[in-house]
A and B are shown apart, each in its own frame.
Chain A
Amino acid sequence: MPENDTTPAIQFQGVVKRFGDNVVLDGLDFTVAQGDRVTLIGPSGSGKTTILRLLMTLEEANDGLIYIDGDPYTHEMRGDKRVAIPDKRRSLVRRRVGMVFQQFNLFPNMTVLENIIEAPIHVLGKSKAEAIAIAEELLDKVGLSDKRDERPNKLSGGQQQRVAIARALAMEPEILLLDEVTSALDPELVADVLGVLRNIAETTDITMLIVTHEMQFAREVSNRVLMFDKGKIIEEADPETIFTSPAHERTQEFLRAIL
């Protein structure tokens, strides 16, 4: 499908996700426009992280369809039957989606630089020289040029997370998923990571989907906030509105509890 300004970057259509008897997402519909910065908030277990994991194909939806730039991602309709798309085809869409994890998940057997150039070389088919040039630029951007030949275990949590951000960006994603990226960090290291992300938000047009408990960050970076409760969106507004005058009672409760 041709990409144009009105094609949403992400579209969920009636997405259902169950873990056993526990229905985490119950027919979820929502869209994210190109270049949007959307923060998902809500109590734990409300399905926010599941949305990111579905978008990364780390989980598989039980029903419904997910589109990236208008392209069916994991399943498509053939007639009125929902069929799984084989991994080879999913992979072409997945390539446009990057993710940064709560636990960083850097490869401990590789140096910082090797972590960043691994996928550009082996997935995008870039030459080693080209991949290194991009990696060095990104390391400079996240302020860790001097760490390029270190192993991740020699780095602080905040530094590891910044490397993980650089690694995700090296794939030149159109969509970046941020899953509680500061939750595993000591408080004094959070600011550096948020600073890097703010800089990315300001200097690129990457669509961002953010799950976070850092409301200040959500407020600064995102242009839209979705409040989740029990697998459904119960409120949706710009950050200013939702943080100062939330309409829904559950949102008020939630914000009171965490702010």
Chain B
Amino acid sequence: MDTEFWSWEHAIAVLPELLRGLQITILATVVGMVIASILGLVVAIVRRSRMRVVTFPVGFLVEFIRSTPLLVQLVFANLLFTQFPSLAIGCVVLGVHYATYMSEVYRAGIDAVPKGQWEASIALDLPRSRTWRAVVLPQAIRNTLPGLGNYAISMFKETPFLAFIYVVEMYAAAQAYGGSNFRYMEAITMVGLLFLLVSYPTSLLVRRLENRLA
């Protein structure tokens, strides 16, 4: 039933473009999360070191990134690195931005490993690197899996910011369709639905994971 505000015809016509956009959205989320989870771990470990020369600048950088909006970082990086494609810049900025949050999740996970685990490792004379790799991180990362899932969902929902640096993800595709057909309502509604369709099942999955690990 079509009205002035809603036309099923447009809602269906916009879908193929949105699905192309969704692929870019998912690609950016996956690449961004890979960067965030690796870099976040590196940041968490570095910040635990006792060398002030390293911890201080890294701590400053983390605070700086967390205190400025993602949108500003995206636009800024896009202006700065004109030689790289926008999509690549977008993935990296998303990854770095979320790495600062992921590092806190890792830190909490590492802190949750009982002191006795470190002491047992010392008593066995395990080298520090081996203690991290074989004892602490496997236990810590287990604790961080739900956090990782939650940040993946929130990153996914923040990908529309990529539209501001001309990456044609789902939201930009909807804007483009709206602009050329003068029908925004259907396009934007469908974007919302597609986001919901991906995030909601993912969040259920994360919750199940949380319960299983608890």
Interface residues of A (CB under 8 A from B): 56-58, 91, 94-95, 97-99, 101, 103-110, 118-119, 122-123, 167-168, 171
With A and B bound together, what is the CA distance between A167 and B124 in angstroms? 8
With A and B bound together, what is the CA distance between A98 and B127 in angstroms? 15
With A and B bound together, what is the CA distance between A167 and B126 in angstroms? 13
Q: Which of B120, B123, B134, B139 contacts A122 (CB 8 A)?
A: B134
State whether A56 and B135 are in contact (beta carbons under 8 Å apart), knowing that A94-B125, A119-B124 are contacts in the complex: no
Interface residues of B (CB under 8 A from A): 114, 116-117, 119-120, 122-127, 130, 134-135, 138-139, 142
**In the complex, what's the smallest C-beta–C-beta distance from B23 to chain A, in angstroms?**
37
B126 and A58 within 8 A (CB) = no
Q: Which of A98, A108, A109 contacts B123 (CB 8 A)?
A: A98
Chain A residues within 8 Å of B125, by CB: 91, 94-95, 119, 123, 171
Q: How many A-B residue pairs have CB under 8 A?
A: 56
With A and B bound together, what is the CA distance between A86 and B126 in angstroms? 16
B116 and A171 within 8 A (CB) = no
**In the complex, what's the smallest C-beta–C-beta distance from B8 to chain A, in angstroms?**
54
Q: Which of A56, A94, A118, A123 contacts B119 (CB 8 A)?
A: A56
**In the complex, what's the smallest C-beta–C-beta distance from B104 to chain A, in angstroms?**
22
State whether A56 and B122 are in contact (beta carbons under 8 Å apart), knowing that A103-B116, A122-B130 are contacts in the complex: yes
Chain A residues within 8 Å of B122, by CB: 56-58, 94
B127 and A105 within 8 A (CB) = no
With A and B bound together, what is the CA distance between A199 and B71 in angstroms? 68
State whether A108 and B119 are in contact (beta carbons under 8 Å apart), knowing that A122-B130, A122-B134, A167-B124 are contacts in the complex: no
Chain B residues within 8 Å of A119, by CB: 124-126
Q: Which of B119, B126, B138, B142 contacts A105 (CB 8 A)?
A: B119
B130 and A106 within 8 A (CB) = no
**In the complex, what's the smallest C-beta–C-beta distance from B140 to chain A, in angstroms?**
10
**In the complex, what's the smallest C-beta–C-beta distance from B157 to chain A, in angstroms?**
33
State whether A107 and B123 are in contact (beta carbons under 8 Å apart), knowing that A118-B134, A122-B130 are contacts in the complex: no
B135 and A58 within 8 A (CB) = no
Chain A residues within 8 Å of B139, by CB: 108-109
B116 and A168 within 8 A (CB) = no
9 closest A-B pairs (Cβ-Cβ)?
A105-B120, A119-B124, A105-B116, A99-B123, A109-B138, A95-B125, A123-B125, A94-B125, A122-B130
Residue of A nearest to B124 (CB): A119
Chain B residues within 8 Å of A97, by CB: 123
**In the complex, what's the smallest C-beta–C-beta distance from A214 to chain B, in angstroms?**
21
State whether A123 and B138 are in contact (beta carbons under 8 Å apart), knowing that A56-B119, A101-B116, A101-B119 are contacts in the complex: no
A122 and B126 within 8 A (CB) = yes
Residue of A nearest to B134 (CB): A118
**In the complex, what's the smallest C-beta–C-beta distance from B51 to chain A, in angstroms?**
15
B134 and A168 within 8 A (CB) = no
Q: Which of B114, B123, B142 contacts A56 (CB 8 A)?
A: B123
12 contacts between A and B (CB under 8 A): A58-B119, A101-B120, A103-B116, A105-B119, A109-B142, A119-B126, A122-B126, A122-B134, A123-B126, A167-B124, A171-B124, A171-B125
With A and B bound together, what is the CA distance between A171 and B122 in angstroms? 12
State whether A107 and B120 are in contact (beta carbons under 8 Å apart), knowing that A123-B125, A171-B125 are contacts in the complex: yes
Chain B residues within 8 Å of A168, by CB: 123-124
A109 and B119 within 8 A (CB) = no
With A and B bound together, what is the CA distance between A106 and B121 in angstroms? 10
The winner among A98, A101, A122, A167 for most chain B CB atoms within 10 A is A122
State whether A109 and B135 are in contact (beta carbons under 8 Å apart), knowing that A101-B116, A101-B119, A103-B116 are contacts in the complex: yes
